[in-house]
């Protein structure tokens, strides 16, 4: 028994190390650890890098000018930051909503590697350009022209434009949120409808599954899928809804396309337009975008079920410093993600910092005493991310 | 919240283009820093007030659009006269839409016909250039040629449309107002100044405190360069711009030692106005509150701050100031919540005390009225009436982003949250004779402003606590903080009057919200 046990222990250890490396938990000492903001500046856009300290604290490290222009607002779920953590190609991609270009910044040098634009008709000037990528391709959601631009990832944080795919919601909505798993791209249109695409060949090809979500069609509530996440195993797509309470929806996508969503109403905090899964997939963090809280829901990665966990108190500075919460980012790529960062939209904007603890079916969210941190470079912060990014 | 979506942006851009192309029609407005004058008053004669308005349009030198109710006098054009009627009088008002055509008429047209055969006036699509008139606060029938905004549409260039309204003999004396109410486009015309006062005479019969006092009528309007586009705004006092600090501000003249009867209408798009009268050093002075929303209070009360929500009215007696008091008329800042627009503090006017007062001010009210009981007025006995039903309604909002898409809802509890559609069925059906207690909650992080057409309602509670039983037609419901119970008001609705049978609306009187659908129909069956 003893002899046979050793190899199993060694295998388990190997799996653990592999998992940690794959998830980015084993952040090498040479890899920087940043919180990154797309500042969305109207008179000159920039990307700001904050070094994340051991305690989750943030130190402003660098502001990189994009040479383009932002719009100082837009859709909550249209995240204008996308991160690539590939050996030799560690990049931050950021979109300039007003001028329509996407720049790549080398995370190791903080130098701009390249810039690319879509077609002449691509525009995100009303509500932004969202970004999502899978290592080979980057997809840009142009919210004004209602197109998905496909860009091929090039060395040195560069991009090359491939083509456009026109899209539209069932109620004529505009593309808002995007998420990728493998060859599947899932999008929301902000009008109640959702759709998935096959991206095996690069440019998105519809899976012909465009549909209205259950939250949109159910009798009493009104909910519009906005943000979207996909589980690590690609089994579930989770939608954060723009709603008058906290509503998320889950679709089983294990067959490679969207199925009818299941609705979860989690509380009275207003709206759930931005969501992110914890690295261990036990918690779904919800930015109550039109409210003033962060909510954590318990997520069952095997069944896709969601249940209410806990909500933070009212985050400091609401109304006096900022008006909306927007995208979320996590400190670490292990466990429940450590510190939760949340973009606080204002002029100037702020970054809220919330700690999480979870055990035995209970959780607690508490705002840091030092929160919020001024994001003085941004007059309309909606989009943040952390590097190294989560592995899924 | 002041936001714009793609559709709104198109409208706004069209409006700017249209503005640049339009010829001036409206009379010049008073210069900044001058003496504030009351609007021309038109009085009924032999029981009838006959008047004709032309709704005109122009753009001033600073780029603000003007929509103006033009009234032709022998001395030239005047804007938005005050209509003065006695209970029992008839108002015969002809309104011609003279907004120039050729602008963005085709854009975002909205079919206003609720059912086949119910068109009133010209019909067709509602556009930026079509109009109608709502007589805000009047307790009159919701029918064509009276106070119907659901089916009435006046198109530019059409022959004048005639309103013919019998003021009920039991109509409460007080300050009402008139303004356009074309769903989807109301904000533009009100932003341009299309609003005026309507007074039902006889306040001194019920509130003898005002007898013999000089009466002033002030209409506070609000203008954005382009409605629906975020940006700074201006307030105007009787069309005189209230400027930023340290520049000449409007001047109200009154005699030292004199108390005056002021009637103030908040005709702004969305500005909540906490009014104050300041003595030297900005010390707020008590004002003797006489009436709210055109309904005399059961008993006057002294207030140092009178909050007038958008579309509300307050009538009060000023304190007497001594010659060296340096009084000022101001509105305080008001928080409308995390997602609401900040309402700024403004110095509305400086008060110039003289020995002669303002020679152009209206003559004092008559001094021979005898006090009468409020029991002769509409809604008398409402407090003790048998309540036949209760309802809960709530305001809520959804924002898909900082610029929209946005959905503004007012919902009857148990029904689906949805925005107003002109062809929708009534959200509430009741019947003549009903007396209902409504609890109206605010689930949004922005203050809303409840208004119902055709009737006043009695205030019962705010956040579950009893309040004076004032009769109102518009009431603010503060924003929800995100935690704890929803802010609420409880009011008593009076559907006993058979003349208001028909279909009308209730909505948020933040006009952007109303235009975007925070409104529904109520049908009162005969």
Q: What is the pLDDT of residues A264-314, one digit of tens each?
A: 999 878 899 999 999 999 999 999 988 889 999 999 999 999 999 999 998
A373-A375-A376 Cα angle (round to 5) = 125
Alpha helix ranges (H) inside chain A: 2-23, 214-217
Q: Is B485 on the interface with A (CB under 8 A)?
A: no
Domains in chain B: ranges and CATH: 6-201 (2.60.40.420), 209-354 (2.60.40.420), 382-525 (2.60.40.420)
In this prediction the pTM is 0.85
Q: Which of A98, A146, A295, A323 to mutate to test the interface with B (most CBs of B within 10 A)?
A: A323
Domains in chain A: ranges and CATH: 31-387 (2.130.10.10)
- Mean per-residue pLDDT, A347-356: 96
pLDDT of residue B246: 73
pLDDT of residue A126: 92
- Mean per-residue pLDDT, A212-227: 85
Residue B342 contacts residue B336 (beta carbons within 8 Å): yes
Res A363 pLDDT > 80: yes
- Mean per-residue pLDDT, B506-514: 97
pLDDT of residue A18: 40
- For residue B203, the surrounding DSSP H or E stretch is helix B203-206
Contacts of A190 in chain B (CB under 8 A): 400-401, 405
Q: What is the pLDDT of residues B341-368, one digit of tens each?
A: 889 999 999 999 988 766 666 665 555 5
Q: What is the pLDDT of residues B131-154, one digit of tens each?
A: 999 999 999 999 999 999 999 999
Q: Is B405 on the interface with A (CB under 8 A)?
A: yes
Cα(A251)–Cα(A273) distance, integer angstroms? 16
Q: What is the pLDDT of residues B213-227, one digit of tens each?
A: 999 999 999 999 877
Q: Is B481 on the interface with A (CB under 8 A)?
A: yes
Residue B337's region, left for phi above 0, alpha for psi from -120 to 50, else beta, is: left
Q: What is the predicted ipTM?
A: 0.84
Give B226's DSSP letter. Answer: S
Give A333's DSSP letter. Answer: S
pLDDT of residue B114: 46
Cα(A352)–Cα(B395) distance, integer angstroms? 28
Q: What is the pLDDT of residues A327-341, one digit of tens each?
A: 999 999 999 999 999
Q: What is the pLDDT of residues A157-177, one digit of tens each?
A: 999 999 999 999 999 999 999
pLDDT of residue B94: 98
Nearest by CB to A75, which of B401, B416, B443?
Answer: B401
Cα(A57)–Cα(A59) distance, integer angstroms? 7
- Mean per-residue pLDDT, A60-74: 96
Nearest to A312 by CA among A273, A343, A357: A357
Name the least confident of A20-34, B118-132, B365-379.
Answer: A20-34
State whether A127 and B403 contact (CB < 8 Å). Answer: yes
- Mean per-residue pLDDT, B67-89: 96
| Alpha carbon of B480: minimum distance to chain A alpha carbons (Å) | 10
pLDDT of residue B243: 85
| Alpha carbon of B335: minimum distance to chain A alpha carbons (Å) | 9
Residue of chain B minimizing CA distance to A227: B400
Q: Is B232 on the interface with A (CB under 8 A)?
A: no
- Mean per-residue pLDDT, A189-218: 96
pLDDT of residue A340: 98
Q: What is the pLDDT of residues B269-294, one digit of tens each?
A: 999 999 999 998 889 999 999 999 99
Phi, psi of A28 (to 5 degrees): -65, 150
Name the least confident of A78-92, A213-227, A376-390.
Answer: A213-227
B152-B154-B155 Cα angle (round to 5) = 140
pLDDT of residue B107: 42
- For residue B13, the surrounding DSSP H or E stretch is helix B6-21
DSSP B457-521: EEEEEETTEE----EESEEEEPPP-SSSSPPEEEEEEEE--GGG-EEEEEEESSHHHHHTT-EEE
Quick check: bond before A379 cis, omega within 30? no
A216-223, long-range: CB < 8 A, 24+ apart:
A216/A192, A217/A192, A218/A263, A219/B416, A220/B414, A220/B415, A220/B416, A220/B417, A221/A245, A221/A247, A221/A263, A221/A265, A221/B416, A221/B417, A222/B398, A222/B407, A222/B409, A222/B416, A222/B417, A222/B418, A223/A192, A223/A247, A223/A249, A223/A263
Nearest by CB to B482, which of A174, A190, A291?
Answer: A291
Residue A42 contacts residue A379 (beta carbons within 8 Å): yes
Q: What is the pLDDT of residues A96-132, one digit of tens each?
A: 999 999 999 999 999 999 999 999 999 999 999 999 9
Q: How many CB pairs under 8 A join A and B?
A: 104
Cα(B354)–Cα(B350) distance, integer angstroms? 13
State whether A126 and B6 contact (CB < 8 Å). Answer: yes
pLDDT of residue A11: 39
Residue B487 contacts residue B463 (beta carbons within 8 Å): yes
Q: Is B483 on the interface with A (CB under 8 A)?
A: yes
Query: What is the average pLDDT score of chain B?
Result: 90
Query: What is the average pLDDT score of chain A?
Result: 91
Phi, psi of A200 (to 5 degrees): -60, -35
Res B325 pLDDT > 90: no
State whether B445 and A292 contact (CB < 8 Å). Answer: yes
pLDDT of residue B361: 62
């Amino acid at each position: 028994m003893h002899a046979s046990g050793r190899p199993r222990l060694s295998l388990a250890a190997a799996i653990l190390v592999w998992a940690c490396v794959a998830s980015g938990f084993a952040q090498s000492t040479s890899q920087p650890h940043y919180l990154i903001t797309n500042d969305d500046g109207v008179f000159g856009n920039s990307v700001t890098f904050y070094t994340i300290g051991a305690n989750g604290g943030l130190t402003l490290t660098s502001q990189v000018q994009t040479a383009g222009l932002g719009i100082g607002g837009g859709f909550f779920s249209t995240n204008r930051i996308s991160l690539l953590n590939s050996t030799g190609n560690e990049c931050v991609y950021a979109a300039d909503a007003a001028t329509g270009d996407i720049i790549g910044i080398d995370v190791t040098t903080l130098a701009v590697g390249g810039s690319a634009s879509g077609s002449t008709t691509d525009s995100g000037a009303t509500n932004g350009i969202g970004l999502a990528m899978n290592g080979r391709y980057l997809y840009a959601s142009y919210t004004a022209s209602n197109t998905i631009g496909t860009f091929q990832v090039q060395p040195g944080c560069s991009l090359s434009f491939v083509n456009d795919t026109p899209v539209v919601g069932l109620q004529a909505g505009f593309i808002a949120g995007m998420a990728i798993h493998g060859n599947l791209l899932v999008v929301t249109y902000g009008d109640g409808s959702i759709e998935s695409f096959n991206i095996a060949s690069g440019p998105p090809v519809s899976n012909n599954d465009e549909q209205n979500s259950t939250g949109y069609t159910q009798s009493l509530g009104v909910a519009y899928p906005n943000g979207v996440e996909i589980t690590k195993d690609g089994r579930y797509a989770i939608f954060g809804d723009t709603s008058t309470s906290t509503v998320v929806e889950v679709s089983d996508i294990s067959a490679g396309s969207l199925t009818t969503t299941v609705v979860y109403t989690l509380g009275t905090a207003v709206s759930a337009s931005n969501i992110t899964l914890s690295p261990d997939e036990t918690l779904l963090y919800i930015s109550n975008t039109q409210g003033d809280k962060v909510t954590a829901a318990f997520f069952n990665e095997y069944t896709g079920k969601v249940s209410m966990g806990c909500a933070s108190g009212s985050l400091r500075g609401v109304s006096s410093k900022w008006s909306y919460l927007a995208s979320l980012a996590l400190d670490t790529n292990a466990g429940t993600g450590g510190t939760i960062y949340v973009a606080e939209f204002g002029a100037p904007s702020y970054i809220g910092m919330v700690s999480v603890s979870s055990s035995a079916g209970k959780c607690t969210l508490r705002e840091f005493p030092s929160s919020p941190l001024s994001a003085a470079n941004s007059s309309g912060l909606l989009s943040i991310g952390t590097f190294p990014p989560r592995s899924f | 919240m002041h936001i714009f979506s793609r559709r709104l942006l198109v409208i706004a851009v069209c409006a700017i283009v249209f503005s640049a192309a339009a010829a001036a029609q409206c009379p010049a407005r008073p210069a900044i820093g001058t003496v504030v004058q009351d609007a021309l008053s038109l009085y009924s004669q032999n029981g009838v007030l006959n008047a004709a308005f032309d709704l005109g349009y122009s753009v001033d030198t600073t780029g603000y659009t003007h929509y103006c109710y033009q009234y032709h006098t022998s001395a030239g054009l005047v804007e938005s006269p005050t209509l003065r009627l006695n209970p029992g009088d008839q108002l015969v008002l002809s309104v011609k839409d003279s907004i120039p055509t050729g602008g963005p008429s085709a854009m975002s047209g909205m079919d206003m016909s609720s059912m086949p055969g119910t068109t009133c006036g010209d019909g067709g699509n509602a556009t930026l250039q079509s109009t109608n008139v709502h007589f805000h606060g009047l307790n009159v029938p919701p029918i064509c040629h009276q106070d119907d905004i659901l089916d009435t549409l006046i198109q530019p260039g059409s022959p004048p449309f005639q309103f013919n309204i019998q003021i009920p003999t039991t109509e409460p004396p007080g300050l009402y107002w008139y303004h356009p109410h074309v769903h989807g486009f109301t904000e533009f015309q009100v932003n341009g100044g299309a609003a005026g006062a309507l007074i039902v005479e006889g306040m001194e019969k019920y509130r003898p405190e005002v007898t013999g006092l000089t009466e002033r009528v002030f209409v506070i309007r609000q203008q954005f360069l382009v409605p629906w586009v975020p940006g700074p705004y201006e307030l105007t006092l009787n069309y005189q711009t209230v400027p930023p600090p340290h520049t000449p501000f409007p001047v109200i003249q009154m005699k030292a030692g004199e108390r005056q009867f002021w009637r103030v209408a908040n005709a702004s798009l969305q500005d909540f106005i906490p009014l104050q009268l300041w003595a030297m050093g900005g010390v707020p002075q008590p004002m003797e509150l006489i009436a709210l929303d055109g309904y005399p209070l059961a008993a006057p009360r002294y207030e140092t701050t009178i909050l007038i929500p958008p579309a509300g009215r307050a009538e009060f007696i000023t304190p007497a100031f001594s010659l060296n008091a340096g009084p000022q008329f101001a509105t305080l800042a008001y928080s409308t919540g995390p997602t609401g627009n900040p309402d700024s503090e403004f110095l509305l006017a400086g008060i110039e005390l003289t020995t002669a007062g303002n020679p152009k001010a209206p003559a004092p009210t008559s001094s021979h009225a005898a006090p009468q009981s409020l029991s002769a007025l509409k809604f008398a006995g409402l407090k003790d009436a048998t309540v036949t039903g209760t309802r809960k309604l709530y305001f809520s909002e959804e924002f898909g982003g900082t610029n929209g898409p946005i959905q503004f809802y007012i919902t009857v509890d148990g029904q689906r949250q949805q925005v107003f559609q002109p062809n929708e069925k009534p959200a509430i059906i009741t019947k003549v004779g009903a007396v209902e207690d409504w609890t109206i909650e605010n689930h949004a992080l922005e203050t809303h402003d409840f208004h119902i057409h055709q009737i006043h309602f009695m205030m019962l509670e705010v956040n579950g606590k009893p309040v004076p039983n004032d009769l109102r037609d518009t009431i603010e419901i503060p924003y929800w903080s995100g935690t704890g119970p929803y802010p609420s008001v409880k009011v008593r609705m009076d559907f006993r009057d058979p003349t208001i049978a028909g279909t009308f609306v209730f909505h948020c009187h933040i006009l952007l919200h109303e235009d975007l659908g925070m409104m529904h129909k109520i049908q009162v069956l005969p």
